[in-house]
Amino acid sequence: MTTLTNLLDLDPAQLVAYCGELGEKPFRAKQLQRWIHQFGASDFDAMTDLAKSLRDKLKTRATITAPAIISDHTSADGTRKWLVDVGNGNAVETVYIPEENRGTLCISTQAGCAVNCRFCSTGKQGFNRNLSVGEIIGQLWMAEFELRRTKGIAPGPKGERQITNVVMMGMGEPLLNYEPTVTALKLMLDDNAYGLSRRRVTLSTSGVVPMIDKLSQDCPVALAVSLHASNDALRDGLVPLNRKYPLRELMDACRRYLAFAPRDFITFEYCMLDGVNDGDQHARELIALVQGSNPVPCKFNLIPFNPFPESGLTRSQNPRIKAFAQILMDAGIVTTIRKTRGDDIDAACGQLAGEVKDRTRVQERMKKMTEYQEKFGKDFGRIVEISS
């Protein structure tokens, strides 16, 4: 049996090569790419400006398949969270956060994560596997066209784009799944696909120093660094990767990255942990770290911790978070406190498919999905919600 090529796995150059293998000219690849990424098409027969002979070839050799949706929840504040199946009992979450002038999609790059940050529920699951290009870009493909379908907005470049910003801040460390992540980034930026500006695509890393340098050469997008501590001793305990790439090396990598970055600052994310990293002295250490003799232009984003029982950690009190922010701001550092979104659907930061108890529910839902599929057969189609 021929294995079908999933066209969501191919970047623009690979699609040209693929069309070449089919005996087609390069401009066919552009047409195909527009159908896939601008019109959300998955049916080759709908691609009416492609010759019938090409459509027939594609039908026997290719597919356009994004990860299947297991569940789809919308929060009271409009945040929408999808749980998507990435095979072998693994699932990841994709979260859409609507705001007045933009729509941000938070996507995952790995099922589980090997970095095992102490405050992160995803890390507690351990590492399952890297996502493919199709599974990463497929989250954007699925979300953009699901949102349009829900709102009755036509697909195509003329329809109002729903996702204006992408953040790679979901499950996993993107720089430890480097090639698929960069291929997906290139598709996000490509004018024949999503055409997002580099400034509107942010990759968040826990600090994989050599890959930060590589990203600056291959596909520099906005960079966020999960910092979470003001000195090495503290960070070693919170972000174990720090033992390999300590703060001095990380700050050097940030400075080097800025020479190629689309923005003139790095965003430092800082999860506020009660009594752990939220003291005045920690704020002062941070100021010394980024404003010392060799400064790093940056902004801070303080994230109120979303507690989960296995962490043994609690969220800093709001007045403490505000006082901490004030110390940074008094030193001239732009500082924001992340608004918690989607709390009622467990879509808040650090809860992405990661809550250990939710992991069990993932398995339950997937079991139910299989039962439903068996009951209703292949006509069951796209699963939007499975009651649980």
Catalytically active residues, by annotation: 93, 349
Alpha carbon 157 to its chain's center: 23
306 contacts ligand SF4 (rule: CB under 6 A): no
Q: Within positions 206 to 235, which residues make up the interface with ligand SF4, using CB under 6 A?
A: 206, 226
Task: Tell me the DSSP string of 126-190.
Answer: -EEEEPPHHHHHHHHHHHHHHHHHHHTPPSSTTSPPS--EEEE-SSS-GGGSHHHHHHHHHHHH-
Q: Which two tokens stand for residue 196?
A: 């997002």
Cβ closest to ligand SF4, residue 37 vs residue 315: 315
**In whole angstroms, how close is the CB of 245 to ligand SF4 at the nearest point?**
12
DSSP assignment of 241-299, as one string?
A: GGGTS-HHHHHHHHHHHHTT-SSSSEEEEEEEBTTTT-SHHHHHHHHHHHHSSS---EE
Q: Which residue, chain included where needed, has tokens 């691609």?
A: 47
- Binding of residue 140 to ligand SF4 (CB under 6 A): no
**Residue matched to tokens 């120093």:** 209
CB atoms within 10 A of CB 253: 25
Q: Does 116 bind ligand SF4 (CB under 6 A)?
A: yes
Instruction: Choose the stretch contacting ligand SF4; rule: CB under 6 A; options: 19-27, 91-99, 111-119, 137-145.
Output: 111-119
**Nearer CB in complex with ligand SF4: 172/220:** 172
CB of 110 to ligand SF4, least distance (A): 8
Which C-beta is closer to ligand SF4: that of 148 or that of 341?
341
CB of 174 to ligand SF4, least distance (A): 9
Q: In one letter, which amino acid is 118?
A: R
Residues in 180-209 that interact with ligand SF4 by CB under 6 A: 206
Contact flag: residue 67 with ligand SF4 (CB under 6 A): no
Residue 138 Cβ vs ligand SF4, minimum distance, rounded to whole Å: 19
Torsion angle of C-alpha atoms 119, 125, 127, 128, degrees rounded to 10: -150
Residue closer to ligand SF4 (CB basis): 84 or 120: 120
Consecutive H or E run containing 33: helix 26-37
Q: Which residue, 113 or 227, has its beta carbon nearer to ligand SF4?
A: 113
DSSP state of 22: T
Name the one range near ligand SF4 by CB under 6 A: 86-94, 114-122, 250-258, 304-312: 114-122
Q: Residues 145 to 184: which contact ligand SF4 by CB under 6 A? A: 171-173
- Find the shortest distance in angstroms from Cβ 114 to ligand SF4: 7
Q: Smallest gap, in angstroms, from Cβ of residue 196 to ligand SF4?
A: 22
Total residues belonging to the chain: 388
Which residues belong to the annotated binding site for [4Fe-4S] cluster? 113, 117, 120
**Phi, psi at residue 4, to the nearest 5°?**
-80, 140
Q: Which of 113, 227, 272, 362 binds ligand SF4 (CB under 6 A)?
A: 113
- 146 CB-contact burial (10 Å; exposed 0-12 / middle 13-18 / buried 19+): buried
Residue 296 and residue 57: Cα distance in Å, rounded?
Answer: 53
Q: Residue 192 carries which DSSP code? A: T
122 binds ligand SF4 (CB under 6 A): yes
By C-beta, is 28 or 118 nearer to ligand SF4? Answer: 118
Q: Which amino acid is at 28?
A: R
Assess 117 for contact with ligand SF4 (CB under 6 A).
Answer: yes
**Binding residues for ligand SF4, total number by CB under 6 A:** 12
Q: Does 29 interact with ligand SF4 (rule: CB under 6 A)?
A: no
Annotated binding-site members for S-adenosyl-L-methionine: 172-173, 204, 226-228, 306
Interface residues toward ligand SF4, by CB under 6 A? 113, 115-117, 120, 122-123, 171-173, 206, 226
